[in-house]
Structure 1
């Protein structure tokens, strides 16, 4: 049996373990049947036609002013080592936490718990522990990161209340392209990096990759990063913040005529000894050092069938992600909390293209399973829980381009959520709800250089598994309403002779937000899950600049006024968001030669009122600048040196996305890292 003769053989073999691990529910059977049927239908439609080269599917409705896409060149230039390095200088985004273990992503002031995050099309829905980061991303082999902020297109997936963040990693063909030699069939990348601040950090990277003809490629990678406690801008040592990160990935890519297949297996782990609340200092004097471990294992299989037919371009994704954490007392080994969430499912879609119309339609399904325990409260309330949720969705997104000046997009998705508590607090409780989420946008280009856009979208998220730690403490009563969001935006973009400018204004509401509510009813329950109110945000983003042959300069500003039940959000609104001062950004890039490039990134955050207590001081403003450079040290550009200085002026500050001032009258979060020199050296063998 050869793969070229039977192109689905590779995909079927890769999917058997995933399918075997998942019960064949009504949704799974439907989608697998459709996946089997679609190629046969397409083959009948295109009999006798010649195969065409695969091209990239672009869903037009998902790109708009106010969003961003980060490519590999930007990641390499900035010497990114964690999520904050990747995203902090992007419009509309803040990353708080100080220490890497506590970093959280905020989009327009809302926390990433409301954001759909995918890695190689595999959703990452798990929220394990509210004091630790939810999204684990190792930058070293990221190919691109795309953000669509705010509720938007139906293709963003179920429950995308505040948008979608998509991470794509590199494959063997991407790595081989670095050599600039189309005849190259195999290679090895080795890299060493160091960050010099406090007790310093070190990273080692090795990757081996190759291809057999132009049809099949394979890659294996390993990354180890070890970091010590860091220093702030005023020279204070921040402890305990030392960490150890590991990442391994195996990836297999095949091109078989009209078919392309990609299987990715990724493992990440993050270990360290922190306080039981790793985003805080020991302000209460009673926090106990604990050994923390978080891991994520993601398997994703992506298959595309693109024959010579405008009516058929099928994409299918099967995925399985297991995320878990465990915190144990450092002195006794006693469990503080643990949780494991397994998510698996699929997305099957087809794209049909006609002269002026593009239609994307499909179905998706995801099932989440949680097994968690907490032993942090008084012993009578120690508990375990097992919960499940499934969501079945059907969606369509149409984009009509009647002329060069006009583009109209409209779509909708229908999502059916079914949540059940199998054991633990609230055992037997169930929440089920289904709802449509429509969207529409219109874009007008009155001149060659000017584009205007208006959009409106709804998004619905039924009752899902909430934070693993709290799920073993707070009770479900089966009376919850799903959360719904509406988002309205207007945008303008202009470009001419190298000059460019863009701006977006937005207003969004999130109704029936679900949160844990402490009741203190010692005789019955510690607390319960409830619909607690309405969150909203109003704001804007703008950027202007100029591009030359070797230079690019851009200046930007964004501001989000976030509120909850008619009061400003604050740091205590864990899982929802916080208030962040108006943020100004500057970016300068200079390609001095084909073998050298330099960059500057600067961010100024204005002071922001803090309503966490009536007497709380405002969140102080701050300005941070980073400089960076990358050089090819040989003519073949295989030996590369990179260097960056973050927080160039060694400012001492608290990021507004960090839990800072507390009702006790002190700053309890970890301040930001002071000046750090990051250096890397890599070689392609």
Structure 2
């Protein structure tokens, strides 16, 4: 087996022109190609597979893994690193805060999504401040995405039934209309009621039910050179779990708890494009507020609760100068946290109020140097500030600033073959971390800012009906910040615990027939902290995931009939969570789906998740614990689930 570090170093040394970072999203969309790991998913793809959870959304995406078990606890891992280091936006609104490390951070409603874009790894200056492992951008639908032909109004109602365990149901609806030739409005709602699910052995897994209620409103308008979007989104999730929703009651002392999570996001986007090479202006302003509460059912004391609020803006302009397109701007975000925890012995119960801000300026240049050579280069400067206003963080005052450069080059060897090499750095100053832990762990004045670098080598081939793409990468994160238990008079401190690293590769290939599309891919990421493999205990950083193979076969019998199958095979992986822990076992997951539209207004869908009813623990799920339990403490994945839906468009 070729050692990946040696191969990467040799390959980069052989490139005369080194490079930095990902292309900006605007360039990627024009080119229409995405490297493996740089994902682009649209509404049509999400509807085909009847995506309902994060696990559904990313189930067949290269370099992305999502933990199993209840949707309440599902976390996203990109190249093995957890999403807390990923810059996540919804219609331009940043969602930076983590609330509770046992709970999912990113909450999305697939029915509302128009497009999801992922740029993996530290990259372009336009990715935003602190994007150590990349950027995930979500764009919600507007009225004109839904209106048919010249219709002025419309509506969609969809009912879904999930047959597994104690079953579940979901209803989704939206109404949309044209207020004028260039102005539209859409409102949508979604309510999902999921009972306890059953694993691959047919056993019902207790403490896994949840209720998801989501709604959104989006107003969009355009007149002349101006465009305007206003988005309001609400997420309200509740569940009955143990106080740690990603862990079973393995110790026999965990209490059933009521879990609540809410997110309210408001974003305003304004664009001005007067068909001038000098001006293409885009302004985003937003507020984002998330809160959580964990309440034991048998006690009056709140186990943990917190509110994480953000407000910010991004002002950018693009200017074309000859063969160059230069994007430059300024962004700002202010965060506020109030939280409390009573999960520990009473001496360590604590509260906190914190405020933080980050101001950044950036420039990103995309230059078509020759018909065959494209160069992208950029840099951003960010200034961070964190203050503790009360509680365990009272008196904390930390500030720092740093730069994040990037450079990349893509060379078209032939009309069908392209080579790409890239390098980028990302800087993240000390800012508000997890809400729950912030009411428990103290600052001792020793924290340093985190710094990441990412180097990639890519190759892409596309000719006639065939394509193949591959990426080799290596990323380092210095001064990773985590909590450190010390005991004694205080529970512990926030500390720089070391340097994290990932080495990996991604490959995918496919062929398009007249009405059949076949794809095959594989990815592998070896993640370490201070030279030791990551384990499930590295919450907030990442975990080890076995080499993953992805296959898909899709048929389009006619415009009214589509069906297909996805296969995901994960190889076994050594589990370093404790000494003597068993390997994370390999598993295969098969998904089959079909969509039939007998008339244009009606769609009948049937999906079977985990078709072979395999019993397994997803590698992105907390699984095993040592003494005294020496057992699996995480939740097994859901067994076979039949999902049937009926959608009617008025």
Q: Structures share a fold, TM > 0.5?
A: yes
Q: Secondary structure of the residue that 1:683 maps to in structure 2? A: strand
Q: Does 1:578 align with 2:573?
A: no
Q: Secondary structure of the residue that 1:464 maps to in structure 2? A: coil
Aligned alpha-carbon RMSD (Å): 1.2
Give runs of aligned pairs for residues 60-459 of structure 1, distance below 5 A.
64-66=34-36, 67-176=38-147, 179=148, 181=149, 183-459=150-426
Judging changes above 3 Å, is the alpha-carbon distance between structure 1 residues 271 and 536 closer, same or farther for their aligned structure 2 residues?
same
Give runs of aligned pairs for residues 468-507 of structure 1, distance below 5 A.
468-507=435-474
Q: TM-score, normalised by structure 1?
A: 0.90
CA deviation profile, 1:609-651 (whole Å, cap 9, x unmatched): 01112211100000011010111121xx111111110100000
Q: Secondary structure of the residue that 2:270 maps to in structure 1? A: strand
- Residue ranges of structure 1 left out of the alignment (5+ in a row): 1-55
Stretch deviating more after TM superposition (347-356 or 307-316): 347-356
Name the CA distance, whole Å, in 2 between partners of 1:61 and 1:545: 21
Name the CA distance, whole Å, in 1 between partners of 2:482 and 2:157: 46
Name the CA distance, whole Å, in 2 between partners of 1:503 and 1:94: 18
Counterpart residue number, 1:533: 498
CA deviation profile, 1:115-154 (whole Å, cap 9, x unmatched): 1111111111110000000000111111111110000000
Name the CA distance, whole Å, in 1 between partners of 2:109 and 2:84: 19
The answer as to whether partners of 1:61 and 1:399 remain within 8 angstroms in 2 is no
Name the CA distance, whole Å, in 2 between partners of 1:401 and 1:186: 43
The answer as to whether partners of 1:349 and 1:361 remain within 8 angstroms in 2 is yes
Name the CA distance, whole Å, in 1 between partners of 2:82 and 2:166: 30
Name the CA distance, whole Å, in 1 between partners of 2:28 and 2:58: 23
Name the CA distance, whole Å, in 2 between partners of 1:161 and 1:61: 25
State the Cα distance separating 1:402 from its structure 2 match: 2.1
CA deviation profile, 1:185-208 (whole Å, cap 9, x unmatched): 001111101111001110011211
CA deviation profile, 1:578-621 (whole Å, cap 9, x unmatched): 00000000011111101111121100000000111221110000
Counterpart residue number, 2:4: none
State the Cα distance separating 1:59 from its structure 2 match: 5.9
The answer as to whether partners of 1:421 and 1:476 remain within 8 angstroms in 2 is no
Name the CA distance, whole Å, in 1 between partners of 2:272 and 2:86: 29
Q: Which of these residues, 545, 561, 573, is aligned with residue 526 of structure 2?
A: 561
Q: Secondary structure of the residue that 2:446 maps to in structure 1? A: coil
State the Cα distance separating 1:58 from its structure 2 match: 4.1
The answer as to whether partners of 1:61 and 1:153 remain within 8 angstroms in 2 is no
Name the CA distance, whole Å, in 1 between partners of 2:416 and 2:543: 37
Judging changes above 3 Å, is the alpha-carbon distance between structure 1 residues 58 and 445 closer, same or farther for their aligned structure 2 residues?
closer
CA deviation profile, 1:25-69 (whole Å, cap 9, x unmatched): xxxxxxxxxxxxxxxxxxxxxxxxxxxxxxx95467997522110
The answer as to whether partners of 1:97 and 1:669 remain within 8 angstroms in 2 is no
Name the CA distance, whole Å, in 2 between partners of 1:629 and 1:353: 45
Aligned length: 622
The answer as to whether partners of 1:369 and 1:389 remain within 8 angstroms in 2 is yes
CA deviation profile, 1:522-579 (whole Å, cap 9, x unmatched): 2xx2111011100000000001111122111010000000000110000000110000
Q: TM-score, normalised by structure 2?
A: 0.94
CA deviation profile, 1:479-519 (whole Å, cap 9, x unmatched): 21110000000000001121111100000000000001111
Name the CA distance, whole Å, in 1 between partners of 2:464 and 2:233: 44
Name the CA distance, whole Å, in 1 between partners of 2:446 and 2:392: 14
Name the CA distance, whole Å, in 2 between partners of 1:614 and 1:288: 28
Name the CA distance, whole Å, in 2 between partners of 1:501 and 1:191: 37
Counterpart residue number, 1:671: 636
Counterpart residue number, 1:654: 617
Counterpart residue number, 2:575: 610
Name the CA distance, whole Å, in 1 between partners of 2:483 and 2:402: 24
Name the CA distance, whole Å, in 2 between partners of 1:311 and 1:195: 53
Judging changes above 3 Å, is the alpha-carbon distance between structure 1 residues 537 and 321 closer, same or farther for their aligned structure 2 residues?
same
- Residue ranges of structure 2 left out of the alignment (5+ in a row): 1-24
Judging changes above 3 Å, is the alpha-carbon distance between structure 1 residues 591 and 405 closer, same or farther for their aligned structure 2 residues?
same
The answer as to whether partners of 2:269 and 2:285 remain within 8 angstroms in 1 is yes
The answer as to whether partners of 2:515 and 2:557 remain within 8 angstroms in 1 is yes
The answer as to whether partners of 1:61 and 1:409 remain within 8 angstroms in 2 is no
The answer as to whether partners of 2:617 and 2:637 remain within 8 angstroms in 1 is yes
Q: Does 1:623 align with 2:588?
A: yes
The answer as to whether partners of 1:70 and 1:144 remain within 8 angstroms in 2 is yes
CA deviation profile, 1:163-194 (whole Å, cap 9, x unmatched): 00111110111111xx3x2x200011111011
Q: Secondary structure of the residue that 2:139 maps to in structure 1? A: strand
The answer as to whether partners of 1:273 and 1:330 remain within 8 angstroms in 2 is no
State the Cα distance separating 1:426 from its structure 2 match: 3.1
State the Cα distance separating 1:403 from its structure 2 match: 2.1
Name the CA distance, whole Å, in 2 between partners of 1:611 and 1:248: 41
